[in-house]
Amino acid sequence: MKYLQEEVREKLYRSIKGEYDISPEEIIFSIPPDRKFGCLSTTIPFILAKKKKEKPFLIGSRIIEKIKAELPYFSEIKLAGGGFINFYFKKGFLFKYLIEHKDRKAADKKQKVIVEHTSINPNKAAHIGHLRNACLGDVLVESLRFLGCEVEVQNYLDDTGIQVADVVWGLLHYGLEEIKKIKGLASYLWQLYADVSKQLAGNDQFKEERNKVHQKIEDKIDPEYEISNYISQEVLRDHIRVMDMLGIRYDLLVRESDIIELDFFKSAAEIMLKNRIMYPSADPEKKGCQVIKYKRENIEKIIIRSNNTVTYIGKDIAYSLWKTGLFEKDFYYKKFHTYADRVKDIYITDSQGGKEDFGFGNAQTVYNVIGIRQSYLQNIISEEVIAPLSPGDSQREAIHFSYEMVALTPRCVEELGFKITEEEQKKSHVDVSGRRGIAVKAEDLIGKLIVKSLQEVKLRDPDIEEEKAKKIAREIAVGALRYFMIKFSSKTVIAFDFKDALAFEGDTGPYLQYTLVRINSILRKLESREAFPEKQDLELSLLEENEYGILYEILLYLSLMEAQVELAIKNSEVSVIANYTYTLCQKANHYYHLFPIIAEENQEIKHIRLSLILLVKNKLEKLLALMGIPVPEKM
RNA sequence: GCACCCGUAGCUCAAUGGAUAGAGCAACUGACUUCUAAUCAGUAGGUUGGGGGUUCGAGUCCCUCCGGGUGUGCCA
């Protein structure tokens, strides 16, 4: 897919690449703040001037001379402000261009990408922090697909971790049959885990018991093993169910127990030793340990302890090598779950089975959506393991898609009924803590959102059928939640508060939904769509100046859409898409508020307005789909 | 100690090194017999934490100070 700016960029690049050392990505376009500076602008002469110590003005003039004849869509290309190159579209071009390219598909880049997200410890219900992870991950997935990548979504299951052992220890006085009778297991374990954590803290005897449970799980000794298996599966099913409520889905579940069972780490260690990535430490304090050098901080990170056991990072390294295809071994697989609409199945890894090739793994680029606190380990994997093992011709890349935590405002913590210390009281936010049970459960939040939106729906339409109202309420709840989780930049700590999260006005998901719902409503009420066929050569000069100006700004803004999605991926910052969509909606609302469509008597003008609204609808539908925000029938 | 991140309107946040720093919320004023008021229009609100520097141009890059946060384990 080539969008408008990309086409111009290509021509520009060809005209300068012989003279300057520059990559196409460095040529960046923006829409100038004032139309007197044109409709599209680049500062490339300034950038080139820095590289060669020349006058930007002269470089700019030379570039314009070279490309002028090659770019037919512009009436003028002017140099301004000492080095800006400003492009002026021919009248009517942009409208025509956007209509013509409305449903253009992304080029098939044939690149396979794996995105790992969600990856919640399977010992309790999901909370708001996990929601941020899954929502960010899912927008990343859909954006990559939009840009033409083949994406495989993986969810990693730490089924052998100490957290599972904690709750198994807490449940040991029950037998498996009794545990199976527990309703809402994930939610039940939420409280149990908090209680267990309290008991374990400062009680060495309990901890020792728990460690024995952990060991028995690893050695597959019942009842500990079967209980742990049951719990992690059931909790996983609960996580999948909750995420499916938000439209978030997976292709493959990867179990840590299978990585251990199939001895992936052994193969990983062989590769790393052979390539001198891992080596025996010479540091007397790390005598007998195998380490990886982390150059950025000049630290040796222990991978294999002196007692020959593997540290936490080891399993992640093996998994990453498998994901990037730098590794011979593979898992076995079986079907785990079919979604209710039956359009998709989830598979899960296994440690035995048939040799069927499912084609999982082996991607060129691997994203791991995980909190910023994991940066240290993720950087080691990406910089010290994956990068050096990737030969230049088949570059493999592991990208840490990081984000800050969701925390709670002190007020919110108190609303939830927890006591907080005086110290915490003074802070702007308090960390979510599974161990203390301090968090908002994902499903509780979704429930609150549904209750509130149902009220709003009924307020606006008291006669609405119950089922219809519920469906719309769910859609609004999902829209509000998903937008809230991605609208902040990933470096912002979200200080969660019900007041903000339950907002339906202003910069919120429902605002975006409302914009599209109203556009759809206009189209429904239009007496006849047939009277206004899609037409590329509309007579824009019929519009009075004010309307033309506002309409033109929307067209310009619409032309940025694909570039914005690319920018979001390039910067690992999907909030770009949320912000862009919000601004687009503001512009659209402003326009059709000023210029009514159905009531317009001049059929030509009506045709123009309708065409614009259809363009906005087309882009907005795509954007909402990228963000997983549903479109209600009415609001 | 070392490394990284953050500090922008009363609050919550935007702003690829680019032309006049923008939104939402809260406050105030106005627009529903009208294509849906979950909307729209308007008023007010700023020394971008302080100070230096680089640059044609700095909220953005560099240095420094102040304030806040995170990571840095033979834990996971």
User: Each residue of A29-68: pLDDT tens digit?
Assistant: 999 999 999 999 999 999 998 888 788 888 999 999 988 8
Residue A600 domain flag: no
d(CA A215, CA A225) in angstroms, rounded, equals 9
- How long is the CA A554 to C1' B45 vector, in angstroms? 28
CA distances from A464 to A357, A480, A631 (A): 51, 21, 18
Residue A192 domain flag: no
CATH of the domain at A71: 3.30.1360.70
Residue A70 domain flag: yes
Residue A15 domain flag: yes
Over its C-alpha atoms, chain A yields an Rg (Å, rounded) of: 28
Question: Which strand B bases fall within 7 angstroms of a protein CB?
Answer: 2-6, 12-20, 23-25, 34-36, 38-41, 56-57, 68-76
pLDDT of residue A108: 67
Residue A52 domain flag: yes
- How long is the CA A320 to C1' B22 vector, in angstroms? 41
SS3 content of chain A, % helix, strand, coil (to 5): 55, 15, 35
Q: Which amino acid is at A329?
A: K
d(CA A441, CA A56) in angstroms, rounded, equals 56
Q: What is the H or E stretch that residue A301 is in?
A: strand A299-304
Residue A178 domain flag: no
Q: Which residues in range 241-260 of chain A are in contact with strand B, contact meaning CB within 7 A of any of its atoms?
A: none
Residue A429 domain flag: no
**Residue A488 CB in 7 A reach of strand B:** yes
The yes-or-no verdict on residue A77 having pLDDT over 90 is yes
**Residue A434 CB in 7 A reach of strand B:** no
DSSP per-residue letters across A328-395: S---EEEEEEE-TTSS-EEEEEESSS-------S--SEEEEE--GGGHHHHHIIIIIIIHHHS-GGG-
pLDDT of residue A393: 65
Q: Are A363 and A110 in contact (CB under 8 A)?
A: no
Q: What is the H or E stretch that residue A295 is in?
A: none
Contacts 24+ apart (CB under 8 A), A431-435: A431/A405, A431/A407, A432/A127, A432/A128, A432/A129, A432/A405, A432/A406, A432/A407, A432/A408, A434/A121, A434/A124, A434/A127, A434/A163, A434/A190, A434/A193, A434/A194, A434/A197, A435/A193, A435/A194, A435/A197
What mean pLDDT value characterizes chain A? 93
- How long is the CA A496 to C1' B21 vector, in angstroms? 27
**3 state DSSP class of A84:** strand
ipTM attached to this prediction: 0.96
User: Each residue of A294-337: pLDDT tens digit?
Assistant: 988 889 999 999 999 999 999 999 999 999 999 989 999 999 99
Vertex A194 angle, CA A169 and A217, to 5°:
25
**Residue A162 CB in 7 A reach of strand B:** yes
The whole-number average pLDDT for the span A169-174 is 94
Phi, psi of A504 (to 5 degrees): -120, 5
User: Each residue of A115-168: pLDDT tens digit?
Assistant: 999 999 999 999 999 999 999 999 999 999 999 999 999 999 999 999 999 999
Contacts of residue A51, defined as CB under 8 A and 6 or more positions apart, other chains included, come to A20, A21, A22
Residues A490-504 as b or e (16 or more Cβ within 10 Å = b): beeebbbbbeebbbb
List the one residue out of A207, A115, A112 whose CA is nearest residue A574. A115
Q: Which residues in range 290-329 of chain A are in contact with strand B, contact meaning CB within 7 A of any of its atoms?
A: 296-297, 299, 302, 305-307, 309, 311-313
Name residue, tokens 């920018």.
Answer: A567
| Domain enclosing residue A55, as ranges | 4-90
User: Each residue of A208-240: pLDDT tens digit?
Assistant: 999 999 999 999 998 999 999 999 999 999 999
Residue A630 domain flag: no
CA distances from A306 to A218, A286, A310 (A): 20, 8, 9
* Total number of domains in chain A: 1
